[in-house]
Amino acid sequence: MAKDIPIVLITGLDDHASIQQAFDVDATDFITKPVNWPILDHRVRYLLKANEAFKALRQSQIRLSDAQRIAAMGNWEWHIESNQLQCSEQVYKIFDRPEKSYETNFDVFLNCTHPDDKKNLILSINESIDKHTPYNFSHRIILPDGSQRIVHEQAEIILSAEGKPVRLQGTIQDITSRKQAENQIQHLAYYDTLTGLPNRTHFKLIAKRTLDRANNEGIKAALMYIDLDQFKRINDTIGHDAGDNLLKNIADNLTHALRATDVVSITGQGTTSYLSRLGGDEFTILVDGFINSHKIAQVAQRVLEHLGQPVTLNDLEYYITGCMGIAIYPDDGEDIDTLLKHADIAMYQAKKRGRNDFQFYASRLNQNTRERLGMETRLRRALDKDELILHYQPQVSAINGEVIGLEALVRWQHDESGLVPPGDFIPIAEECGLIHPIGDWVLETACHQARKWQKAGLPAIRMSVNLSSHQFHQKNFIQNVTNILQGTGLDPQYLELEMTESVIMQQLKKTITDLNDLKQLGLSLSIDDFGTGYSSMSYLKRFPLDTLKIDRSFVTDITTDSSDAAIIKAIITLAKSLDLMTIAEGVEKIEQLTFLQQQGCDLIQGFYFSRPIPALEIEKYLIDHSSISRFSESDQLTETV
């Protein structure tokens, strides 16, 4: 209070030391004697007025400081040239640093900015200086204890009389709690409070994004709509609280189901799935980056399997199932509402059939995928139940009819369907990955059988085994072949691997290396169905191949279609120039055989000599035909080309 009262010292002393002493004890003014009373009168009046103004200024500063404290806002001023920064008390509080505890230049201020936000903050400031415009910017700052705050800055540029930027002055406000509240509101608006999954509003946003992307890239997307079976009854029985807990557990099960399915694991390849809860016991899964309906059906089945796992609640186990309807964009609808409607209709159809089932909206897909899924499940069991068998077809010398080799061809001996040909199940095995165990089984069985016949004293002939592209491109394929050869004891010179053009005309550099590595093992390599794929002639000579197998389609009409005959001639000429053997497939008639003999084809395979037959029969065949020329006088090659 005393500080607010101005003090005027009247004294006879007018030396420097006395004047200083007076001001040191807080005198406001100093008057020497003799006193000039009219002047004193004016001086006192002026002092009182100045004191009032000073008090008002102090009050205003306190009010400003209080306002800044309440608003968690500080003000600052940066002198561009000197890089000095002046800050109000509240700025230090926002940065959680004691006032004047660090040098106040602009770099210190920048160093407290979150590293990820710094670049944009500097850009905004520079733009403001360059364009003489105010700036607004929200960013994060790092406090001394490592925690973060979000601040909002507003500043404007002050120009010199010459129009040069000299100062930047602005405010900084701590908006952390506001941002947190906003985030919370956002979360409440977009997420389901019970399960934490995206809610209907959010689902629609995700769906829009997904459909837009699918549209732009010309791909499909799938919407799966799940409704739990008899959930209302369960809810009424166990009460709504327990029902809520059950829903939470089910949401977890579904999340795990998606993590465990291929859809999520191939996210990197552009496929992602999004689970949402639309309300009640309704969930949706959006698959962005659709692969094919078969894959979607696999996902659907696995999701339903996970869903069906028991949920334990208050020491009781509940078995919940659900039905799923699937609609495909754009086939079943071009907007999300139509897709939802159609997935819902499909879901009700699934419900009509019973529990725990799924249904595509397009009935065509239901049948195809259902058949395929059934086939896949049965094929899995076929391996365990030893239902796969090999048939063997002889490959015969075109010159003297001697059996040179056998091709192993797989069949599926099925209880109901009988003997299923490879064309009906190999593509499915390739799609679902079963080709690996099946391929290994074929290779091992064929090698084992060849070795067994050799041990039994039959002439040592070559065994040809077909390879699928999936097998050849498998990481440890060469090691696999090595192990099988070692395990069965078959000399590699008696093994030939058949691959189609499409298998080896991929990843050419790697293929050449892999083929060379395979060749190093001592086995032979042949191109199957040659002429039906696209071979690069320049690569053909760089592959370490032994044989070209001329596809059956050229052989069939060899005697009636001049272009087929021309193609065969060309293939044989090409093979000879590359020092490769030729085998003609599908030879059924004597005329075909004669033509091929005339063209100099080396080996013949086809029904003319034998259909593919089981091991026991081929054994007999080999005994009957070993080292015996099979041609009658008229079949014998008369002129070799």
* Residue 606 binding ligand C2E, by CB under 6 A: yes
Contacts 24+ apart (CB under 8 A), 412-417: 412/379, 412/382, 412/387, 412/388, 413/387, 413/388, 413/389, 414/378, 414/382, 414/387, 415/387
Stretch that binds ligand C2E, among 145-153, 224-232, 283-291, 463-471 (CB under 6 A): 463-471
Which partner, Mg ion, ligand C2E, none, binds residue 444 by CB below 5 to 8 Å per kind? none
* Residue 466 binding ligand C2E, by CB under 6 A: yes
Which partner, Mg ion, ligand C2E, none, binds residue 544 by CB below 5 to 8 Å per kind? none
**Number of neighbours of residue 440 by Cβ within 10 angstroms:** 18
Which partner, Mg ion, ligand C2E, none, binds residue 394 by CB below 5 to 8 Å per kind? none
The rounded distance, in Å, linking the Cα atoms of 410 and 393 is 11
- Residue 435 beta carbon to ligand C2E: minimum distance, rounded to whole angstroms: 7
Determine which residue in the list 393, 524, 535, 547 makes contact with ligand C2E, applying CB under 6 A.
393
The rounded distance, in Å, linking the Cα atoms of 509 and 113 is 50
Interface residues toward Mg ion, by CB under 5 A: 466, 498, 528-529, 585
Stretch that binds ligand C2E, among 10-18, 359-367, 605-613, 632-640 (CB under 6 A): 605-613
Complex with ligand C2E: residue 293 or 605, whichever CB lies closer: 605
Residue type, 217: E
* Residue 528 binding ligand C2E, by CB under 6 A: yes
Complex with Mg ion: residue 340 or 408, whichever CB lies closer: 408
What count of residues does the chain have? 641
Which partner, Mg ion, ligand C2E, none, binds residue 204 by CB below 5 to 8 Å per kind? none
Per-residue contact flags (x/-) with ligand C2E for residues 576 to 595, judged by CB under 6 A:
---------xxxx-------
Residues 484-523 that bind ligand C2E (CB under 6 A): 498
Tokens 């899995």 appear where? 380
The rounded distance, in Å, linking the Cα atoms of 181 and 186 is 8
* Residue 426 binding ligand C2E, by CB under 6 A: yes
Number of residues that bind ligand C2E (CB under 6 A): 24
- Residue 606 beta carbon to ligand C2E: minimum distance, rounded to whole angstroms: 3
Which partner, Mg ion, ligand C2E, none, binds residue 418 by CB below 5 to 8 Å per kind? none
* Residue 394 binding ligand C2E, by CB under 6 A: no
Determine which residue in the list 529, 547, 550, 558 makes contact with ligand C2E, applying CB under 6 A.
529
Which partner, Mg ion, ligand C2E, none, binds residue 393 by CB below 5 to 8 Å per kind? ligand C2E
Complex with ligand C2E: residue 350 or 604, whichever CB lies closer: 604
- Cis check: omega of the bond before 459, within 30 degrees of 0: no
* Residue 421 binding ligand C2E, by CB under 6 A: yes
Beta strands in 103-164 (DSSP E): 135-142, 148-159
Complex with ligand C2E: residue 449 or 468, whichever CB lies closer: 468
Complex with ligand C2E: residue 374 or 421, whichever CB lies closer: 421
- Structural tokens at position 193: 């409070």
Complex with ligand C2E: residue 54 or 607, whichever CB lies closer: 607
- Residue 528 beta carbon to Mg ion: minimum distance, rounded to whole angstroms: 4
Beta strands in 97-215 (DSSP E): 135-142, 148-159, 165-174
The rounded distance, in Å, linking the Cα atoms of 495 and 482 is 11
Span between the terminal Cα atoms of the chain, in Å: 127
The rounded distance, in Å, linking the Cα atoms of 253 and 530 is 50
User: For ligand C2E, which residue has the nearest CB?
Assistant: 606
- C-beta separation of 331 from 365 below 8 A: no
- C-beta separation of 326 from 360 below 8 A: yes
Pairing assessment for the beta strands 547-550 and 282-288 based on DSSP bridges: unpaired
Q: Hey, which residues does 368 pair with through a beta bridge?
A: none
Tally the C-alpha atoms within 13 A of residue 247's C-alpha that lie toward its C-beta: 29
Three-state secondary-structure class, residue 29:
strand
Interface residues toward ligand C2E, by CB under 6 A: 393, 409-410, 421-423, 426, 439, 442, 466-468, 498, 528-529, 552, 585-588, 605-607, 612
